[in-house]
Amino acid sequence: MTGVRPYTAPPRSTFWQKLGPGGLASFLLASAGTLLLLGLPVGWRLRRVLREAEGEPLAPADLILVLGRRLQDDRPTAVFQARLAHAAALWRRGLAPRILVAGGVTGRASRSEAAAGRDWLLAEGVPAGALLVEDQSQHTLENLFHVRDTLLTEGWGDLLLVSDGLHLARAGALAAGLGLRVRRSPAPDCPPFRGSLAWYRRAALEAFLLHWYHTGLAYSRLIGSRRQLERVT
């Protein structure tokens, strides 16, 4: 490690700000590979996105992590609410003693995704003592990176990761890259609903983003960039 904190995007970051070191180069490489190989890399990743959308068998964990989602009028969207509701259901089943809601200030919001999610869970009867927040991150990779710090500080190991099903393959790959022990659990009522046009579009987008992540990881290792690797490993 260099001793320098890996790059994190500032609040309300633009797409380009979120990329960080090496992000643009890996995005261009992933896009070029997709075009030159007639979409085959994305098709290959799509199989994983669809397979892993079903989640994994559940087991007790130290923490339930709810990945954030951009707010609308400073309130959780239907997708975010479905994630939060599923996390609350897992907590009530006794699968973990606490829930951590992740997500910083994004888009036009005046508050963090984590704060809005915490308030939603409080209103649903989850006690404040069972809730934690991570309110600095701008995207999924940063969600997991910052949560890893909390796990190390508290001595916790096992994580139940909650998101919508199509997000789980990418979130799981990012978590594995960071050395996190996770079991993924899809929120069953998240829109878009299975089989809709929007669902297929989201699946294709997630497949490309997963392809982009693996391209970036390979590129960083190939050029030996410690600065880039410290952000994703």
Which residues have C-beta within 8 Å of that of residue 199, sequence separation ≥ 6?
Answer: 166, 192, 193
Residue 217 lies in a domain: yes
Query: Are 66 and 169 in a shared domain?
Result: yes
Helices 197-223 and 40-52: crossing angle in degrees, nearest 10, is 110
Q: Token digits for 142?
A: 């940063």
For residue 3, what pLDDT is reported? 47
Give the pLDDT of residue 230: 87
Average pLDDT of span 138-163: 94
Please indicate, yes or no, whether residues 40 and 142 belong to a single structural domain of this protein: no
In this structure, is residue 2 part of a structural domain? no
How many Cα atoms occupy the beta-carbon half-sphere of 42 within 13 Å? 21
Q: Which residues pair with 65 in a beta bridge?
A: 100, 161
Q: Residue 200 sits in which domain range?
A: 21-51+196-232
Residue 1 pLDDT more than 60?
no
Q: What is the pLDDT of residue 23?
A: 92
pLDDT value at residue 233:
86
**Residue 6 within a domain:** no
Q: 118: burial class by Cβ within 10 Å (0-12, 13-18, 19+)?
A: buried
Residue 16's pLDDT is: 82
Q: 125: exposed, middle or buried (C-beta count within 10 Å: 0-12, 13-18, 19+)?
A: exposed
In this structure, the answer to whether residues 60 and 40 fall within a common structural domain is no
Tokens for 197, please give them.
């046009």
Q: What is the number of structural domains in the chain?
A: 2
Residue 2 confidence class, pLDDT cut points 50, 70, 90: very low
Beta strands in the chain (DSSP E): 63-66, 99-102, 131-134, 158-163, 181-186
What is the CATH number for 128? 3.40.50.620
Asked if 164 and 187 count as a contact pair (C-beta separation under 8 A), the reply is yes
Ranges 67-71, 79-83, 197-201, 227-231: which has the least confidence: 227-231
- Give 7-40 pLDDT, tens digit per residue: 888 898 988 888 888 899 999 999 999 999 999 9
CB 162, CB 69: distance < 8 Å:
no
> Residue 40: inside a domain, yes or no?
yes
